[in-house]
């Protein structure tokens, strides 16, 4: 299994897999990986929704759904084992965040694909500072997965490629395909609008 990974991949993994070596860093990495997984949509979509950018919110939700399904399909097609599966390999993990909590295959990283997909749309659609911050966060999410011993660095790269590719595709479709624009508008208008506060 490990021979097929490649020396560079294993070297980078060893350099970044530092789980359990620093308590403060452990907490930070768990926080980042949690935000990049469970709360990833809330970080991006809710602020847009509250600002009245309902169509952009729809695009973000669509990207997340597509990314989850495509990433899952690729995972089981490739079927690469996580570095923490083989106890003799010596991957560092944290209590409660080991391979037992991650039963699916390793490539591509779901956390990375989702984070980079949403960050990619931010970079394509909004100001470069927002895009840069979103990409930096997505990179940290990827690093946290290797730090915790749950992914190879190439899993993160694969997730980034998948995520950014989906973001580019959705952005092109949302700008050029009239049918998509009409369907999106119809769905968005079905959702009740929250009353906006009147400015003093």
pTM (2 d.p.): 0.84
For residue 4, the model assigns a pLDDT of 46
Q: Is the pLDDT of residue 85 over 70?
A: yes
pLDDT of 38-49, one tens digit each? 777 777 777 777
Residue 37 lies in a domain: yes
For residue 194, the model assigns a pLDDT of 56
For residue 193, the model assigns a pLDDT of 63
Residue 198 lies in a domain: no
Counting Cβ atoms within 10 Å, is residue 44 exposed (0-12), middle (13-18) or buried (19+)? buried
What is the number of domains present in the chain?
1
Q: Is the pLDDT of residue 63 over 70?
A: yes
CB contact at 8 A, 125 and 171: yes
Q: Give phi and psi for 139, each to the nearest 5.
A: -65, -40
Residue 60 lies in a domain: yes
Exposure on the CB side of residue 51, measured as CA atoms within 13 A? 9
Q: Is the pLDDT of residue 167 over 80?
A: yes
CB contact at 8 A, 29 and 147: yes
Residue 1 lies in a domain: no
Domain of 21 in residue numbering reads as: 7-190
Q: Is the pLDDT of residue 196 over 70?
A: no
């Amino acid at each position: 299994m490990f021979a097929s990974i490649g020396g560079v991949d294993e070297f980078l993994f060893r350099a970044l897999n530092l789980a359990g070596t620093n308590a403060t860093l452990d907490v930070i990495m768990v926080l980042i990986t949690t935000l990049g997984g469970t709360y990833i949509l809330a970080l991006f979509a809710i602020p847009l929704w509250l600002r009245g950018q309902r169509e952009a919110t729809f695009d973000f939700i669509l990207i997340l759904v597509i990314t989850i399904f495509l990433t899952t399909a690729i995972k089981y097609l490739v079927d690469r084992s996580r570095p923490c599966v083989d106890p003799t390999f010596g991957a560092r993990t944290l209590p409660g965040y080991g391979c037992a909590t991650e039963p699916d295959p390793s490539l591509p990283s779901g956390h990375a694909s989702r984070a980079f997909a949403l960050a990619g749309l931010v970079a394509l659609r909004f100001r470069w500072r927002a895009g840069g911050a979103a990409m930096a966060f997505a990179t940290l999410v990827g690093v946290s997965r290797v730090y915790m011993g749950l992914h190879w660095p190439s899993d993160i790269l694969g997730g980034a490629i998948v995520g950014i590719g989906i973001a580019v595709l959705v952005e092109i479709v949302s700008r050029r395909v009239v049918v998509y624009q009409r369907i999106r508008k119809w769905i968005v208008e079905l959702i009740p609008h929250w009353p906006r506060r009147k400015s003093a």
